[in-house]
Structure 1
Amino acid sequence: MYYFAEHFSESPDPNEKSVVPEMTQDTQARPSAARRKNQSAPPGIGLTMAIAVISGVVCWFWLASGRANPVRSTAPNVSDLTEVEEREIAGALTTMSLSNAGLAQFREGKDGGCRRPLAWVSLVSAPGEPPSHVRLISGTYYSPIFEVSATPVRVALPFPAPYETGHGALTAIDVGASAIISLLPAWRVSAQDGKTTREVSWRPVKSCGPRNG
């Protein structure tokens, strides 16, 4: 009886290894570092960064393909012509040098037929310059010789090329001094130029069916 009690009251062998692994300092530190990382990152930052990257790629492609500017901008050496409106036709025709038969093509037909379009330009002396004279050539049309002074004068011209093309060239001759032809941007010519040409453009508007310049 005494032997039985003594046998089961023996203490565990101090040299026997424990089956429970001890946690090292590195093992204890890793969960704490992970928790700190998760706590420092703002919620949703991954989604925000992904959206920013995708948006940047889309914007770059949009700009590179030219879709950001659908309206063609005027080049520095090209000016825009303004079209004469219907209510201005009568006054515009008085500035042109054509026979009645020639002017008829720019008037609306009695049967409502289409007319050839006209363009406006304004002529004015350059600041500080004396009056001068300017003649314009637009396609096969030669304008009268206009006296240009400090008071702007507006004159009409046929478009220098077929209307549907949207571009052509004007020529200025017989300039006695510096003058400004009010296009957009303005075109400045001088006596030293002699005969000078300017590229012009316009935006065709089909309001009456086919038009031929």
Structure 2
Amino acid sequence: MAVPNQAHILIVEDDPPIADMLVDLVRSSGFEASSVESGAAMDRMMVRQQFDLIVLDAMLPGEDGFSICRRLRAACSVPILMLTALQEDIDRILGLELGADDYVTKPFNSRELLARIKSILRRASYAHHQEEALGPMMFSGWRIDPKSRQLHDADGAQVSMTTAEFDILLAFCCNPNKVLTREQLLSMTHAGSAGPVERSIDAHISRVRQKIEPNLKDPTFIKTVRLGGYLFASKVERLP
């Protein structure tokens, strides 16, 4: 599945030389690119224009990238790629738990960054075309609609999800009561292309659990299988 060349990427980076370099890098790959220096400037830009991906620096002055990521995720499902100079795994995983789809650490390799960007865009494009053939599904009163990429709870309220979270839940719904390894989930949700480390799957699943599990201490839907992976323990009904 080809990556859509007309994808428009917004870069939120306060260091002008880095921002300019990122814009040039993105444009050299055939994408459109814009840059802003803060969360407030990002908000103003997003009122005027839609974006297919946001590259978000974690260490911004004022409102930092983690706060912006949390706020964005509560309002929309635009894919987010975080840039972080933090070397600790816990800091990088925090970005994923807040709703980022992927991360790259600084200093970064330009080819790796482009691979991550293309991976996210390819996943979104792949998911769109794959899901056109799938109808809505129900599990325990929840409704997931692949075409609209929306999840509704038993009361009919829509639940906001990131691209990766929705992909993971959809993979489970298409394979109920089957053990899926982290490698299989990574392949299903990234269309076999370059993506984040396997541990990011655990972070995304943790966020999915927060949204659908009635008791996080004793999950009833997404079960952890020791040395195996995960199992979606629910009956799934395909709707006409």
How would you bin the TM-score normalised by the shorter chain? Answer: under 0.3
Give 1 or 2 for the bigger CA radius of gyration: 1
TM-score (normalised: structure 2): 0.20
Is the helix fraction higher in 1 or 2?
2
More RCO (CA 8 Å, sep 6+): 1
TM-score (normalised: structure 1): 0.22
